[in-house]
Amino acid sequence: MATDSPVRYRVLFGNPEFRALFFAHSMSVVGDQFARVALSVLVFARTGSPAWTAVTYGLTFLPDLVGGPLLSGLADRHPRRGLMVTTDLARAALIALMALPFAPLWVVCVLLVAVQLVGAPATAARGALLPAVLGEELYPAGQAVMQTVTQAAQVIGFAGGGALVAGIGTSGVLLADAGTFLLSAALVWWLVRPRPVPAGDGPVVERTWWSDLTAGAGLVWTNLRLRALVLFACVSGFYIVGEALAVPYATALGGGPVAVGLMFAAYAAGAAAGMLIVARLPLSTRLRLLAPLAAAACVPLVVCFTDPHLVVVVILFVASGAGSSYHMIASTSFVLAVPDERRGQAFGLAVTALRVAQGLGVMLAGLAAEFAAPHQVVGLAGALGVLAVLAVGWLWRSADGRNLTLAAANA
């Protein structure tokens, strides 16, 4: 079980399987951020519409509404290493098709949805496999490192994305993204050992996608603590609005593609730094900081109401990203509270809620930006996010109170 000790990075990277998962994930994240910048620039250049730009960006999140519940259970019914390799190869092929010159915008959008659908079981498989690779004691540390590198990779991908688009074009960037998935598949295949499908303690029964879906949903819904953790994840649907409107926001501030990349990278840089700090704190301290950090992810965006200079906006995005480090606390607590044989499905449902919240936030922000200035929409999203954190924080405290009551009754 998880301890109150800080992260031990040297022990983590002494595990060759973890190193493979770490580098495979890092490469694909960098490629994905390159592709997101490329698609945002491409759509805005063709349409000139903040709404269409936000809708395209939102398509990278909303397919999880279907893929998360229906496909994440594959990670509990099939060997997780093989599933990760297969999905990486499929995504490489789909993204390569997106890179075809002069592909109609609707074709690119359809392929983008397919890429996200295929990614749902891969995300669930990786999330469920990591505790088996590291053990429950080291898993929180490993998850902290994986989430930190995700943000650091986003800094590289977003900061360099604008310059890369200018250098090799959108098709070249998409082909580079496809290549990262090929490298990821190779690393996982050669360096992560195969493991059997996890089995529960009860009698062996035939498992289907419907039985996995209902069992996973029932587990999350009936556990107040798990529900609160999922809702904490959904708060990101408010503070992601800054990223969603980065292109029109940068344009309104007089910036170009490089400014867009910096605005994207600012949030990721703050998140990476925040996670490195939070990961060094004792477990009890991290849990106490969960709600305050979630609020801190939203508060800086409220300042955007004042329409500050681009430099100030970048600093505010960094601060928002630092607050978002609470995701590391929420995700590790969630996964360790779920039995191994249900982790793929439960993790997929949690990611579904996260992505749907983010996708809706992105799309609604894009529509709002058709009628209001980007800085006003970002400021409003920050204010609504603070109110949401207050409500979820109350639920979280209620869950802790119930756990203490049950512990006293069982003593």
**Which of the 8 DSSP states describes residue 304?**
G
Q: Which two tokens stand for residue 55?
A: 């809708």
Residue indicated by tokens 């409500």: 391
Residue indicated by tokens 């945002």: 40
pLDDT of residue 204: 42
- The per-residue pLDDT of the chain, averaged, comes to 80
Mind listing the pLDDT tens digit for each residue in 378-407?
999 999 999 999 999 998 888 765 553 433
48: left (phi over 0), alpha (psi -120 to 50) or beta: left
Kind and range of the H or E run holding 296? helix 290-302
Crossing angle for the helix pair 257-278 and 16-47, to the nearest 10 degrees? 150
Mind listing the pLDDT tens digit for each residue in 178-210?
888 999 999 999 999 988 887 654 444 455 656
Global pTM?
0.69
Q: Is 171 exposed, middle or buried (0-12, 13-18, 19+ CB in 10 A)?
A: middle
Are 120 and 227 a contacting pair, CB within 8 Å? no
As a whole-number percent, the residues of the chain with pLDDT over 90 amount to 25
pLDDT of residue 407: 37
Q: Which two tokens stand for residue 274?
A: 């925040």
DSSP states along 42-62: HHHHHH--HHHHHHHHHTTTT
Task: Categorize the per-residue pLDDT at 271 as very low, low, confident or very high, splitting at 50, 70 and 90.
Answer: confident
Look at 200 and 174; give whichever has higher pLDDT: 174
Q: Which two tokens stand for residue 27?
A: 């490469």
State which of 144-158, 222-236, 247-261 shows the largest mean pLDDT: 222-236
Delimit the domains of the chain by residue range: 10-191+223-410
CATH of region 10-191+223-410, choose from 3.30.390.30, 1.20.140.10, 1.20.1250.20, 3.40.50.170: 1.20.1250.20
Mind listing the pLDDT tens digit for each residue in 141-167?
788 788 777 767 666 766 676 677 767
**Which of the 8 DSSP states describes residue 363?**
H
pLDDT of residue 26: 85
Look at 410 and 186; give whichever has higher pLDDT: 186
CA distance 392 to 401: 14
